[in-house]
Amino acid sequence: MTDSPAAIICLGGNGDMNKFTIIHLSDSQLTAPGVEPQYHQRLLPQEKLQRVFDDVLEHQLQPDLVVLSGDLLQGGTAGDYARFHSYLREQSQRLAAPIEVVLGDQDDREAFNNGYLSQPDLPYYAYKQVHQNMDFYFLDSKWEENKEAGWLDREQLDWLNKNLHLAPRRRAFIFLHHPLDAPALRPMRYALLQNNRELLAILHGHNIGGIFTGHLHFAASYLVESTIPVTAVGSASTYINCQDPHYHEVHDAVTYNVITIQRGLASITSHPLYLGQPIIDTVTVNNTGFAKHRPRLTSSRRIVNGPFI
């Protein structure tokens, strides 16, 4: 795993040099001992996450990289994030692959910075990795506290823009927590990335191989700008049926994706491990549109010793 978010990391491969395999999971929503899991889950989130790692090992998938795309812990303290970091180190050794994370809306940035990173003053946790002729970007779309929607601030967008221009020919793949807007997801705009257009303006004209997200608690695949594939992985903790825009039904579930990249093209296979039939909770949604109050995309703040390459 990466202890310094500012480093550019060159990844090695576990097998075929023409194939790069990524295990992608999201929304593990682990809880501290004695804390009730969200949505009244019947199986502990810790048990569900362990099922994913055990399944990857049992089926000898031999990943080159594992990515957890946000909502790592629910109500986590610095101590909880430190223990989670240690746990992921153990799983990384078992799988012989680095494990990387991004933050989700339910994560506590201050607790994460102190416990997971031991770097208390980082405004964002965004970083880049390089493998052969591919760049992997990990963006921090967590907005403010108590906001489910996502946001990429100006400094982070500028950092992404700079790095894309530094390597215009390399195929780029992007991981973040919040999905981008699409016609099929319009009833869920309250939960999506809010500055979708600003991100797409930066990506325009670059060699983007795919965007991978979580957050929805159901699987989704679609194109943005008619060319960029977006894949939201199902949750490692629950499945949420959002067919009714205002009334969502929650089930226990465990799923993860295997992303296989060959010659710059990514194919995705879903691996559902469990789906509980009983409805364990419901979610009522009133306003399904974008957030009314959004921060300005200008800032005079200068980031010092931040997570930018």
Q: Classify the phi-psi angles of 52: left when phi > 0, otherwise alpha if psi is within -120 to 50, otherwise beta.
A: alpha
Alpha-carbon distance of 127 to 138, in angstroms, equals: 5
Which of the two residues, 33 and 122, has the higher pLDDT score?
A: 122
Q: 278-304 pLDDT, tens per residue? A: 999 999 999 999 988 777 655 433 332
Query: Does residue 107 surpass a pLDDT of 80?
Result: yes
Q: What are the C-alpha distances in Å from 130 to residues 85, 152, 196?
A: 22, 22, 25
Q: 257-280 pLDDT, tens per residue? A: 999 999 999 999 999 999 999 999
Q: DSSP assignment, residue 36? A: P
Give how many domains the chain has, as a whole number. 1
Rounded to the nearest 10 degrees, how much is the dihedral formed by the CA atoms of 165, 201, 107, 89? Answer: -30
Q: What are the C-alpha distances in Å from 298 to residues 48, 156, 301?
A: 41, 12, 9
Would you say how long the chain is, in residues? 309
Q: Give a yes or no: residue 232 inside a domain.
A: yes
User: Global pTM?
Assistant: 0.90
Residue 56 and residue 23 in contact, taking contact as beta carbons nearer than 8 Å: yes
The contacts of residue 248 (CB under 8 Å, 6+ apart) are 240, 241, 242, 282, 283, 284, 285
Q: Give a yes or no: residue 1 inside a domain.
A: no
Per-residue pLDDT at 4: 37
Q: DSSP assignment, residue 243? A: S
Q: Give a yes or no: residue 29 inside a domain.
A: yes
Residue 106 and residue 29 in contact, taking contact as beta carbons nearer than 8 Å: yes
- The chain-wide mean pLDDT, for the chain, equals 89
Alpha-carbon distance of 116 to 68, in angstroms, equals: 14
Q: Give a yes or no: residue 249 inside a domain.
A: yes
Per-residue pLDDT at 145: 80
Q: Give a yes or no: residue 295 inside a domain.
A: no
pLDDT confidence bin for 207, thresholds 50/70/90: very high
Q: Which of 162-166, 241-245, 294-298 has the lowest mean pLDDT?
A: 294-298
The β-bridge partners of 131 are: 134
Q: Give a yes or no: residue 165 inside a domain.
A: yes
**What average pLDDT does range 63-68 have in this prediction?**
97
Contacts 24+ apart (CB under 8 A), 162-166: 163/128, 163/135, 163/137, 163/309, 164/202, 164/203, 164/206
Q: DSSP assignment, residue 183? A: G
State the first-to-last Cα distance of the chain, in angstroms, to the nearest integer: 17
Residue 87 and residue 53 in contact, taking contact as beta carbons nearer than 8 Å: no
Domain carrying residue 63: 8-284
Q: DSSP assignment, residue 289? A: S
Q: Give a yes or no: residue 291 inside a domain.
A: no
Which of the two residues, 212 and 301, has the higher pLDDT score?
A: 212
Within 10 angstroms of residue 220's Cβ, the number of other Cβ atoms is 16
The CATH number of the domain where 186 resides is what?
Answer: 3.60.21.10
Alpha-carbon distance of 157 to 303, in angstroms, equals: 13
Query: Which ranges of the chain would DSSP assign to H, the alpha helix?
Result: 45-58, 78-95, 109-112, 154-166, 196-203
**What average pLDDT does range 63-89 have in this prediction?**
96
Q: Give a yes or no: residue 2 inside a domain.
A: no
Q: What token pair was written down for 143? A: 């907005």
Query: Does residue 70 surpass a pLDDT of 50?
Result: yes
Alpha-carbon distance of 85 to 230, in angstroms, equals: 28
Per-residue pLDDT at 121: 87
